[in-house]
Structure 1
Amino acid sequence: MKWLPSGWQLHWRRFAVMLVKELKQLGRDRVLLAFIVYAFTADIFLAASGVSLSLNHAATLVQDQDRSPQSRELLSRFQQPYFRMDGAVAQDAAALAALDQGRAMLVLSVPPQFGKQLANGQSTSVAMQVDTTNSVLGFLATSHAQQIVSQYGLESAMRRLGLDDKAAASLPKVQNDIRVWYNPNQQDSWFMGVAEMLNIATVFAVLLPAAALVREKERGTVEQLIVSPLTPFGILFPKVVSMTGVILCGVALSLFLILIPVFAIPVKGSLLLFFALSALYVFTTAGLGLFAATIARNLAQAGMLSILILAPMLFLSGAWTPPEAMPVWLRGLMYASPLHYYLDIAFGVLLKGQGLAELQPAILGMSGIGLLVFTGGLLLFRKQFD
């Protein structure tokens, strides 16, 4: 760096010394390093492979009180992979007990005279009892079951009108022309894996800088740094940069060791752009950790404050609850979460192949929050030790 002016050379040497110091301190904490490696590998693998938002092999019991060819034909349509027939029950009490004990998600009850009523052109019904403890899976089970029953009722009505399959096929109808973009097979592992990687990066982006600064307080070395020629910015900036580098290494570990080789997640955009914007995001979020560390007196307090910061960030990001499902007043708060913008950036680059032009609103929003938060943390730190 000899080409730099002498004043800049001095600042560079101070920055380099502080950067090396932070990395050495982190390297001595082997438990924390092991936790970082676990979080960016095993945790993401478990989230991508073990969490599913689709209906698979839902345990189903039947209460066939008719035992007619029509009832057997209807029940035979509840097949895998959506449903798994686990037997029959004779009484309503047994059906409720199975739902209470978690042995079934869905109980189908076919009433007496079901086949006779269909044959006579009379309306009839099929009762469905659904365990909606998990509201998402309960909703999916209900939707699939309703679709099966409705289709069977339509076919029964056509047969009564004397329309065979060939005649029914000739009737005018509206066809669904569905095109699935960016995730053709609609694999949950793609979304869950990437979302978990972003959540883990967020957690460490807050915790690591906070822990680094609080350790200085606990050891009494922060006062030594304050009376040194270093400015508050010169103290905080190397901590943020070093932890940003560590988190980017963790993100690279997740991508190249888990998400791409194991789950075949495509990278349609520029990896260089993704890592550059990830560095910007970590820098943005690290300011929140500095806020917590400036207020906290010890590591335990910093951890609790970080949880208070992280919980609304994660819940309001849009990863767990779609923005459209949020109340209007809460949807506005979502734009104060840096993770909301990072989600758009990560999925836009990795799955959609977007560039700077498409990501400009998210980049500007994230940068604005980062500048505000880091500046606030810096001013609070300076005020505390003035």
Structure 2
Amino acid sequence: MRWVSNIYRLGIKEIYSLLRDPVLMGLILYTFTFAIYTVANGVKTELHNASIAIVDEDRSVLSSQLVAAFLPPYFKAPELIELSEVDPGMDKGRYTFVLDIPPRFEADVLAGRYPAIQLNVDATAMAIAGNGTHYITSILNGELLQYVSRSSADAALPVDLRVRAKFNPNLDSTWFMAVMQIINNLTILAIVLGGAAVIREREHGTLEHLLVMPVTVSEIMVAKIWANGLVIVIAAVLSLQIVVQGLLGIPITGSVLLFALGAAVYLFAVTAMGITLATVATTMPQFGLLSIPVFVVMNLLSGGITPLESMPPALQQAVQVLPSTHFIQFAQAVLYRGAGIGIVWPQLLATAVIGMAFLAFALVRFRATLAAVR
């Protein structure tokens, strides 16, 4: 009971210390409000207002029908250009897509000669190049099928394909970006606040004061973890309720309480990681430089940005040691698909086990740091 009491009292001291730090409080406020809102509205992964130019060398009814098929909000109004303007326009980045309709295209289609249409894509615009190519192909196939079916009764497709998108019916990237930004901010804030709690004690000279108090190393470290983790969990839950559901109007189908439970388990692991980095660094700038590559790797390789299935098999196995890999699977299942504890308990258990390993390693490092201060 004394161990629990000391952890509680030291944690309250950490919360008071954090509340009196205007820079860190401003960082928390910005991270879970403005940063969530702007990223969700500003970063688009679906096709929207893509620039397209068309070289119409046929000047026929069919080619005019194809030009008129590209409409907002997916595309800007198509710009009719000459063949000599294609390369200069794409070199300057004016067009993401350039469609070249060859001469005698309509006559060749009606004669069954299977003419070719050239589509030039600026593949440096990776966010929309793949999706845009799929959209343009679908638009062209639909218009050509409609045109040919006027003169051929058997031109209709033998299969009626119906697509139903689950969990995000309109394929709106705002739904994805808002929730993923909260998860990413959980990670970086846990690392920053956990490490800053140790660096702050060292820079203010209060670490020596803790050593003369009747407390153990584990009590000091666990208190820092639960205090900073509690602040982040509360901020994340409020961000889900106020920013995501309120301002952005994004529905959260799953249990926010279950998400908060998983976030608390995850934050134990990540905050312990931040404390470990703080025991290696001696100043806040050094800690910041150390934490950046750690966060970038966890962010890019945890399955939130790109699916794990697209990674090399060896890398898929390697990232299983990261707590963020399991937490992202947990959070997506709970918040997007409304999964309950009966479905996500393996991810929650894996996060807890990895968190205990990080906690044990951080305790060893933190004990060594305090021994060096003595």
Give TM-score scaled by structure 2 length.
0.93
Alignment of 1:210 with 2:195, yes or no, is yes
Matching residue of 1:343? 328
Q: 1:24 aligns with which of 9, 16, 35?
A: 16
Contact 1:288 1:309 in 2 (8 A): no
CA distance in 2, matches of 1:120, 1:20: 81
**How far did 1:156 drift?**
5.0
Shift, 1:82, TM fit: 2.1
- 1:267 CA displacement: 3.0
| 1:123 matched residue in structure 2 | 114
Gaps of 5+ in 1: 1-7
Is the CA contact 1:118–1:156 (under 8 Å) kept in the aligned structure 2?
A: no
Could you say if the C-alpha distance between residues 248 and 59 of structure 1 is closer, same or farther in structure 2, counting changes exceeding 3 Å? same
Indicate the residue corresponding to 1:310 in structure 2. 295
1:220-239 per-position Cα deviation (integer Å, ceiling 9, x unaligned)? 32233223321111111111
One-letter code aligned to 2:326: Y
**Alpha-carbon distance in 2 for matches of 1:139, 1:16:** 53
Cα distance between partner residues in 1 of 2:16 and 2:164: 51
Letter of the aligned partner of 1:67 in structure 2? R
2:38 equivalent to 1:53: no
Residue in 1 that maps onto 2:264: 279
CA distance in 2 between counterparts of 1:278 and 1:188 reads 23
Q: 1:158, CA displacement in angstroms?
A: 4.5
Q: Pick the structure with greater CA Rg.
A: 1
The CA RMSD measured in Å over matched residues stands at: 1.9
Write the distance in 2 (CA, Å) between the matches of 1:268 and 1:112: 53
Q: Distance in 1 between matches of 2:23 and 2:264?
A: 24
Match of 1:359 among 344, 349, 353: 344
Q: 1:215 to 1:111 in 2, by over 3 A?
A: same
CA–CA separation in structure 2 for the residues paired with 1:115 and 1:16: 78
Q: Are 2:28 and 1:36 equivalent residues in the alignment?
A: yes
Deviations, residues 344-364 of structure 1 (Å, cap 9, x unaligned) = 222222222212110111011
Distance (whole Å) between structure 2 residues aligned to residue 89 and residue 302 of structure 1:
54
Please give the per-residue CA displacement for 1:138-169, whole angstroms capped at 9, x wherever unaligned.
Answer: 11121122223333444455455x42xxx655
Kept in 2, the 8 Å contact 1:316–1:337? The answer is no
> Percent identity among equivalent residues?
32
Which residue matches 1:5?
A: none
Q: How many correspondences in the alignment?
A: 371
Counterpart in 2 of 1:74?
Answer: 66
Aligned to 2:181: 196
Does residue 241 (structure 1) correspond to residue 226 (structure 2)? The answer is yes
CA distance in 2, matches of 1:62, 1:177: 30
Any unmatched runs of 5+ in structure 2?
none
Alpha-carbon distance, 1:340 to partner: 1.6
CA shift, 1:373, in A, is 0.3
Provide the secondary structure at the position in 1 that maps to 2:51: strand
